[in-house]
Amino acid sequence: MRSADIAVAVFLGISVVSTGICCSALLLFRDLFQRLHYLSVVTTVSTFTLLVAVVIKEGAGQATMKAILSFIVLLLINAVLSHATARAARVREFGQWTPTPEEHIEGAEDVKPGK
């Protein structure tokens, strides 16, 4: 077995293990906002290690370019989708996304509800 094959197996193993840990964490946590943090790991760490495995296995080629583009798209979509999901959950829970006057959120003293 070549060292490249071992490296590919290690990176694929890291991807599978991190995805498994995140999936089990989704079952353990009850709060949506806590679950969002674990979903981010899947689209960053797991996808990056999968990308590295493809780069090692395939070298410079069409498969590598597709993997790089997929990683970039997932990375960008992850940030936007996580923010939109958290904001929608807050609106559903509180009726607005800004803090209410009774809430104390550190760093949000200057934010006025409705603005």
Query: CA nearest 10: which of 52, 38, 67?
Result: 52
**114 φψ region: left (φ > 0), alpha (ψ -120 to 50), beta (else):** left
pLDDT in tens, 25-69: 888 888 888 888 888 888 888 889 999 999 998 888 898 999 899
Predicted confidence at residue 15, as pLDDT, reads 92
Domains contained in the chain, number? 1
**Per the domain annotation, does 103 fall within a domain?**
no
**Per the domain annotation, does 108 fall within a domain?**
no
pTM recorded for the entire structure: 0.70
Print the SS3 string covering 50-66: HHHHHHHHHCCCHHHHH
**Per the domain annotation, does 11 fall within a domain?**
yes
**31 φψ region: left (φ > 0), alpha (ψ -120 to 50), beta (else):** beta
